[in-house]
Structure formats: C-alpha cells, structure tokens
Amino acid sequence: MRILILHGPNLNLLGRREPGIYGHETLADIETRVRAAAEDTGCDVEFFQANAEHALVERIQQAMEDGTDGIVINPAAFTHTSVAIRDALAAVALPFVEVHLSNPDAREPFRQTSLLADLAAGRVSGFGGTSYILGLQGLCSLIGPAASE
C-alpha cells in the first residue's frame, strides 16, 4: 500500500513556528518518526509539503495516476478555507485521514470548521507529530491486506 502524506502551508516552519502550540519537532523530525512507524504498518510513505493551494491540488490529482492507495493530510490553514482541496480529494476518491498537530476544536472559532471532515475516513488531532503516526496506522489498518481478512 502506498500512502501519500501531505503537509499544508507553514508546516515547513515547524520547530520554529509557535512552539507552544506546535511543539519543537521539525517537519524532518516528524517525517523520520513516521517513516519508522510505517515499517510496522506494511505501508510505503511518500511526503509532500507546499505552501500554495494549487501545488497541493495538483499533488492530490497526481495521486489518481501514480498508484497511491490513501492519503494522510494535514491541510493546515487550508482545512478551514479550501473548497479546492476538498474538491480534489473528492475527485480522486481515495480514502484519506485528516490530521492536526494541535486540536483545532479547542482553539479559535475559525479553526473549528473543517471543509474536509465529512469526506475523511477519520481525523486525528492534538498529539503533535504523533497525530501523523496514528493517522497512518488507522488508514493502513482500514485499507491494508489485514482489512479484508
């Protein structure tokens, strides 16, 4: 199983960006941990980060053609604003999990709306970089070989 892990805008600044909210781990640190955890899931992972909405939409569209079986996405601020990312995920019709480092439901009101949530197979929030690992494990157990046994 091939899982695409997408990071939205400003997540390239992790480690330096509001560490009281997002922690001290860098994106590279998180990806190292996710790669290690992926070994136990039987899923291969590929990562992509973009600050631009169109780049994320294009990478999601590409997932239709490149053998991707599922997506773990932290859409970051686009969670709350992007009809385009929602439509791209609906178009490719691959199972996806929405993840967040913080718990947006415990933050400002504008973060308490997700334009993706009702399409997601599941959501994981509030566990820092571990949210990605929990999301990956959940997605792989949903779509992996064990799911059809």
Q: Of the ranges 50-58, 72-80, 82-90, 139-147, which one interacts with ligand DQA (CB under 6 A)?
A: 72-80
| Shortest Cβ 94–ligand DQA spacing (Å) | 20
CA–chain centroid gap for 92, Å, is 15
- Compose the 104-123 pattern: x for residues touching ligand DQA by CB under 6 A, - for all others: x------x------------
Q: Of the ranges 57-65, 83-91, 99-107, 141-149, which one interacts with ligand DQA (CB under 6 A)?
A: 99-107
CA distance 8 to 79: 9
Q: Does 59 bind ligand DQA (CB under 6 A)?
A: no
10: left (phi over 0), alpha (psi -120 to 50) or beta: left
Decide if 100 is catalytic.
yes
Structure tokens at 101: 């480092």
C-alpha angle with apex 37: 40 to 127, nearest 5 degrees? 135
Q: Of the ranges 37-45, 61-69, 76-84, 114-122, which one interacts with ligand DQA (CB under 6 A)?
A: 76-84
DSSP string, 123-148: EEESSTTHHHHHHHHHHHHHHSGGGG
Which of the residues 24, 54, 80, 100 is marked catalytic? Answer: 100
Amino acid in the structure at residue 59 = R
Q: Which residues bind ligand DQA (CB under 6 A)?
A: 10, 74, 76-77, 79, 100-102, 104, 111
Active site residues: 22, 100
